[in-house]
Structure 1
Amino acid sequence: MKDLKHFWQRTAWLRYLLSGVGVVLVYGWALRGLQVDLELLRTSVPYVVDFISRLFPPDWSVLDVAGKALVETIQMSLWGTTIGAILSVPIAVLSAQNLAPRWIQLFANLLQNLVRSVPSIVLGLLFVAATGLGAPAGTLALGIYTIGYLAKFYQEAIESVERRSLEALEVSGASWLQVAQYGILPQILPLSLGYTLYMFEYNIRAASVLGVVGAGGIGFELVSYIRGFEYPKATTMMLVLWVVVTVIDALSSHLRRRLEAD
C-alpha cells in the first residue's frame, strides 16, 4: 500500500500532464465542431458596428411605455417565482436521498430533468397557445420554468442537512413531521430563501426573453420596436431593464447576505 502511495506521489506530474492534454483535446474537438470562419467574422464587423450605431441615441419618449411594461415584467416574475417555489417544495422533498424511498426519488428526479429540458421560450409558446398573448402566459411559463431549478436547489439543500441532528430527533421519538419542522426546516430555510431570491432576479431577465413569443412584459415591447426598426426606442427599453436588473441584483445580494448571516 505504501509503495502504491509513493508511486502516485512520484507520478503526480504525469497525471497533471495527461489531464492538461485531455483538456486541450476536448476544447480542440469542441472548436473544430463549431466550424468558426475567421474570415466571415472579420468581414461582418462593419455590419455589427452599423447595427450598434442605429441603437443610439436612445429615444426617451417611450419611458412611460417602458415603465408600464417593466411593472408588468416584475409582476410576472413575482408570481411566476412564487408559483414555481411552492410547487418545487414537494418535488424537492420527494427527490431528496435522505427523505424519500429510492423509487420515488427516481420518479421525482426524472420530473425535474423533464422540466429543465424544456426551454423557457417553448413554455412561453405553449401557454400563449393556451391563454392567448399577454402576461398570464408569461407568468405560467416562468412558474413551470422555475420548478426545474428551484426543485433541484431545494433538494440539494435538504440533502446537505446534518444527519446527526435528524437521528437525535428520531431517537427521541419525534414524528416525520416533527423531524422536518425542527430538524430540516431551520437548516435549509436561509439557503432556500437565498435561492428563491436569486431565481426571482433571474426570472426578470427571462421574462424579457418571453416577450419574443408575445408573453407580455417589457420583452414584448422590446421585440416590437426591433421588428419595426425603431432601434432607439428598443435601446431605451434595454437601458431601463438594465437599471432595474442591477438594482434588484444589489437588493437580492444584500438580502441573501443577511439571511446567511442570520
Structure 2
Amino acid sequence: MKNLPIFSQWVIYLLIFFITIFIYTWALQGIGVDTQVMQDSLTYVSKFLADFFPPNWEVLDIAIKALIETMQMSLWGTTIGAILSIPIAIASARNTAPIWLQWLANFLQNAVRSVPSIILGLIFVAATGLGAAAGTLALSIYTIGYLAKFYQQAIEAVDSRSLESLQVIGASKLQIAQYGIIPQVLPLSLGYTLWMFEYNIRAASVLGVVGAGGIGFQLKSYIDGFEYTKATTMMLVLLVVVTLIDTVSSQLRQRLEGM
C-alpha cells in the first residue's frame, strides 16, 4: 500500500472505514437493542444491586475455605492441562511436525476450545459427581484448548537460524530441542502458564454454578437462596485474591519475558 499514490491510499482507507461502519451497524441491528427498555431497566438494576450490600462478613471463613478449594482446583487443572498441551503443541507447530499431523492437532485444539467450560463442568459432574474433582478435570481440558495454542505459537516463533546452526555442527534432534528450542520457548511458555492459572481461578468460580466445587458453588447457593449479602462477601474475597495473583503473576511474567 505504501507504493500506491496518496489518492488511492485515501480511497482504500475510506473504503475500510465505511465497511467497518456497515459491519458494526449490521451487528447492532442483529442484537436488537431497545434503548428505551435499557433506560427503564436502570432503576430495576440499581434496586437489585442494592440488595447485595452491605456484605455479610459472618460467612468469611466459608468464603476463605471455598477460595482455597478454588485455587487447588486451578493449580491442578492448569498443571495437568499444561502437561497434556506440550505434545499437542509440538504436533501442531509448522516447524516441528508434518502437515497431516498439524491438521489433526489443530483440529483437536479447535474442538476443545469450541466446548464452553460450563458444558465441560456438566460432563464431568455427570462422570464423577458434584465436587472439586469434576471442576479440576473440566479445567484441565479447558486449559488444553488455550495453552496448546499458546505453546504452538511460541514454538513457531523460534529463530530458525539457531536451529540451522545446530544442524550444521551435527547436533541430534534431542540436542536441537534441548539447546535450540527449549531456551527460546520456556520463558514465554511459563508466562502463558501463569496467565492460565490466574484465569482458571475465575473459570473455576464459574464452574461452581454447575456443582463443580469451589467458591462458585457457594456463590450460586447464596444467590439461589436470595442471600445476596453473603454472595457479596464471596465476590469480594475472590476479587482480592484474583487481584493479588494478577499482580504477582504479572511481575513474574515480565521477568520471564526479560529472560
Same structural fold, with TM-score higher than 0.5 when normalized by the shorter chain:
yes
Distance 2:2 2:233 in 1: 63
List aligned pairs for 1:35-50, cutoff 5 A.
35-50=32-47
Distance 1:224 1:200 in 2: 25
Q: Name the TM-score, length of structure 1 as normaliser.
A: 0.97
Aligned pair 1:89/2:86, yes or no? yes
Structure-2 residue corresponding to 1:214: 211
Gaps of 5+ in 1: none
Distance 2:161 2:106 in 1: 25
Structure-1 residue corresponding to 2:224: 227
Distance 1:259 1:245 in 2: 20
How far 1:44 sits from its partner (Å)? 1.2
Residue identity matched to 1:168: S
Distance 2:186 2:2 in 1: 43
Residue identity matched to 2:212: A
Residue identity matched to 1:170: Q
Aligned pair 1:80/2:73, yes or no? no
Offset from partner CA, 1:12-38 (integer Å, 9 cap, x none): 111111110010000000001000011
Distance 1:107 1:117 in 2: 15
How far 1:7 sits from its partner (Å)? 4.4
**Cα gap change, 1:96 to 1:6, in 2 (>3 Å):** closer
List aligned pairs for 1:247-262, cutoff 5 A.
247-262=244-259
Structure-1 residue corresponding to 2:61: 64
Structure-2 residue corresponding to 1:51: 48
Structure-1 residue corresponding to 2:171: 174
- Partner of residue 127 from structure 1, selected from 108, 124, 128: 124
Aligned pair 1:26/2:31, yes or no? no
Distance 1:10 1:230 in 2: 64
- Partner of residue 185 from structure 2, selected from 184, 188, 193: 188
Distance 2:2 2:63 in 1: 65
How far 1:208 sits from its partner (Å)? 0.3
How far 1:5 sits from its partner (Å)? 7.2
Offset from partner CA, 1:127-177 (integer Å, 9 cap, x none): 000000000000000000000000000000000000000011112111111
Distance 1:218 1:121 in 2: 15
How far 1:257 sits from its partner (Å)? 1.0
Distance 2:18 2:52 in 1: 44
How far 1:6 sits from its partner (Å)? 5.7
Residue identity matched to 2:50: S
Distance 1:69 1:44 in 2: 33
Say which SS state the counterpart of residue 11 (structure 1) adopts. helix
Structure-2 residue corresponding to 1:117: 114
CA RMSD of aligned residues (A): 1.1
How far 1:45 sits from its partner (Å)? 1.3
Residue identity matched to 1:211: G
Offset from partner CA, 1:191-231 (integer Å, 9 cap, x none): 00000000000000000000100000000000000000000
Residue identity matched to 1:182: Y
Say which SS state the counterpart of residue 99 (structure 1) adopts. coil
Following superposition, which runs of at least 4 residues in structure 1 exceed 4 angstroms of deviation? 4-7
Distance 2:230 2:140 in 1: 29
Q: Name the TM-score, length of structure 2 as normaliser.
A: 0.98
Say which SS state the counterpart of residue 171 (structure 2) adopts. coil
**Cα gap change, 1:5 to 1:42, in 2 (>3 Å):** closer
| Count of residue correspondences | 259
Aligned pair 1:200/2:187, yes or no? no
Q: Identify the range of structure 1 (40-49 vs 24-33) with the bigger mean alpha-carbon deviation.
A: 40-49
Gaps of 5+ in 2: none
